[in-house]
Structure 1
Amino acid sequence: MCGNNMSVPLLADAVTVSGAERETAAVIFLHGLGDTGHSWAEALSSIRLPYVKYICPHAPRIPVTLNMKMVMPSWSVHGAVGRRRGACGLLMLQREPEVVAGGIGGLAPGTCGGEGEGWVYLAIRLPCAMDTWRVRRLISFAFPPRFDLMGLSPDAPEDEAGIKKASENLKAAIEHEIKNGIPPNRIILGGFSQGGALSLYTALTSQYQLAGIVALSCWLPLHKAFPQAACNGVNKDIAILQCHGEMDPMIPVRFGALTAEKLKSVVTPTKVQFKTYPGMMHSSCPQEMMAVKEFIEKLLPRI
């Protein structure tokens, strides 16, 4: 394939997992707040199909309102809608938690994996061994929910301009792949948390009929604008795989359920799959990744 990635900012430094044979389809997958494309490129490599190209862009580093204007990778300024409460839960620890990489392959012993909405780090390693109940209690206290989906007050902030700008950048990446020979109906958008939210918004407002959406532990941003914001019903029949951890302390599973119901008012209801995973927090697990693989394989068969 041809084309210069440098002409598309989102693709300039993206991590790409190339196919082992001729690439006839593409998955563009966006990471969460504070992460990079590397972690999800590694995860997708473990379930990849040989004729599919997996593209994992890096979010730009910008000041994030939710993190007191700290500069970190984020697809939009606020990161998520809601108030940032104090980290008093961390005072239960005897010493500072250790920053560790990863956190998307499930919970290793003593580790809270995930994105860290409202926090600088991607994952933390607790300084002592704790049973699952204590970990859940601590993390639920230290990481309160960041927004109230569909229960927002009229003046609750959402970074509308930032979301739309990020969406346009993602649409430019889609167009780049189309120009390079991948038809839109062979392209899946996906993402985790903030990245999943942006993927949902972008796909539903796209002028191209895409193959599907993988939405992990996320929500639909600017949800009040839908279904009117959907681009002339182009993706009315798009397939959506939405997955969520039942123990997610940052984006509670009930928000995922509300998102699924909202999505059913935007697309054909039978096209929306909502899967939940007992014990999973703001992270991923092998069962979820297998569901993602099966979804991709069904929508992007070998041709």
Structure 2
Amino acid sequence: MLEPQGEVKKVVIWLHGLGADGHDFEEVVPHLGLPPEHGVRFIFPHAPINPVTINGGMQMHSWYDIRSEDFMNDVDHAGIETSCQQIFELIETQIKFGIGAENIILAGFSQGGLIALNVALNGPYDLAGAMALSTYCPMADRFELHRDTPVLMMHGEHDPVVPFAIGQATCNALQKSGYEVEWHSYPMQHAVCSEELMHIGKWLQER
């Protein structure tokens, strides 16, 4: 967790990708260009350690199991639901601390982005926004809640892990369902680049 200078007014809950942990994105915060008085608490939770089928059953931090390369059809719905519940509890804790749901943004990279979209667009809270980086969401065309929640999606055009096409398909499905999605792509692989961080910082300040 990274606390701001002074009073906490907003919260960003940022979810890491497969095999990483909650420390993975801590170092990007100083590069977002936020003003010193931004008042944002950044929370970086750890996914539970679980066996991941596609990695030979290796135990690692994972928000859900990945059973095959068919990301859009072979989906671990039970694992996704369990992780969503973990994030619901985090949101509830922040609400008890006096931060309204309308002042909370969910962000996530890869696996974490899928969880962020599910919680923000299919959960009980009207959040300030959802940020989904280098990710996909097979159930995006079935979301019906919180269509006023702003969504930022970003993807590498040469991503060898989460193909660009399925990230773009998720964006298209959300837009078709009436969600406001801001989409950016970059000439990179499964990563985060400096131009992307600049856009993230601008988007956060607008929220």
Specify the TM-score bucket, using the shorter chain as the normaliser: over 0.9
Q: 1:273 aligns with which of 169, 182, 188?
A: 182
CA deviations over 1:112-165 (Å, ceiling 9, x no partner): xxxxxxxxxxxxxxxxxxxxxxxxxxxxxxxxxx3353xx4xxxx211111011
Q: Is the 8 A contact 1:191 1:215 kept in 2?
A: yes
Asked if the contact 2:140/2:174 (under 8 Å) is kept, the reply is no
CA distance in 2, matches of 1:273, 1:210: 16
Aligned in 2, Cα 1:148/1:55: closer, same or farther, shift over 3 Å?
Answer: closer
User: Contact 1:160 / 1:222 at 8 angstroms: preserved in 2?
Assistant: no
Tell me the equivalent position of 1:282: 190
Q: What residue number does 1:147 align with? A: 70
In structure 2, the CA distance between the partners of 1:267 and 1:184, relative to structure 1 (3 Å rule), is farther
Q: Which amino acid aligns with 1:295?
A: W
Q: Percentage identity across aligned positions? A: 36
Q: What TM-score comes out, normalization by structure 1 length? A: 0.64
What SS does the aligned partner of 1:167 have?
A: helix
Aligned: 1:68 with 2:56: yes
Aligned to 1:24: 9
For 2:11 and 2:154, the matched residues in 1 are separated by 20
Pair 1:148–1:171, CA change in 2 (3 A): closer
- The match for 1:127 is none
Instruction: Name the CA distance, whole Å, in 1 between partners of 2:41 and 2:71.
Output: 35
The one-letter code sitting in structure 2 at the alignment partner of 1:58 is: H
Secondary structure of the corresponding residue to residue 283 of structure 1 = coil
Take 1:267 and 1:212, find their aligned partners in 2: how far apart are those partners?
Answer: 15
8 A contact 1:260–1:274 mirrored in 2: yes
| Structure 1: 5+ residue stretches without partners | 1-15, 83-145
In structure 1, how many angstroms separate the alpha carbons of the residues matched to 2:185 and 2:70? 20
Normalization by structure 2: what TM-score? 0.93
Q: Give deviations 1:32-51, integer Å, cap 9, x for gaps.
A: 00001112011124325530
Residue 160 (structure 2) pairs with residue 249 (structure 1): yes
- Residue of 85, 100, 110 corresponding to 1:183: 100
Tell me how many residue pairs correspond in the alignment. Answer: 204
Q: Distance in 1 between matches of 2:3 and 2:61?
A: 24
Contact 1:211–1:238, Cα closer than 8 Å, also in 2: yes
Task: Note the aligned Cα RMSD (angstroms).
Answer: 1.5
- For each residue in 1:89-123, what CA deviation from the matched residue of structure 2 results, as whole angstroms up to 9, or x when unmatched? xxxxxxxxxxxxxxxxxxxxxxxxxxxxxxxxxxx
How big is each residue's C-alpha offset from its partner over 1:37-71, in whole Å with a ceiling of 9 and x where there is no partner? 11201112432553000000111111111111110
What is the distance in 2 between the residues matched to 1:241 and 1:77?
25
The verdict on how the C-alpha distance between 1:180 and 1:148 changes in structure 2, with shifts beyond 3 A counting, is: closer
CA distance in 1, matches of 2:87, 2:173: 22
- The answer for the alignment partner of 1:116 in structure 2 is none
- The 2-side partners of 1:185 and 1:76 are apart by 27
Q: Provide the C-alpha distance between the structure 2 equivalents of 1:292 and 1:188, rounded to a whole number of angstroms.
A: 12
Partner Cα separation in structure 1 for residue 30 and residue 15 of structure 2? 15
Q: Secondary structure at the match of 1:215?
A: strand
Q: Is the 8 A contact 1:197 1:220 kept in 2?
A: yes
Secondary structure in 2 aligned to 1:264?
Answer: helix
| Residue matched to 1:59 | 47
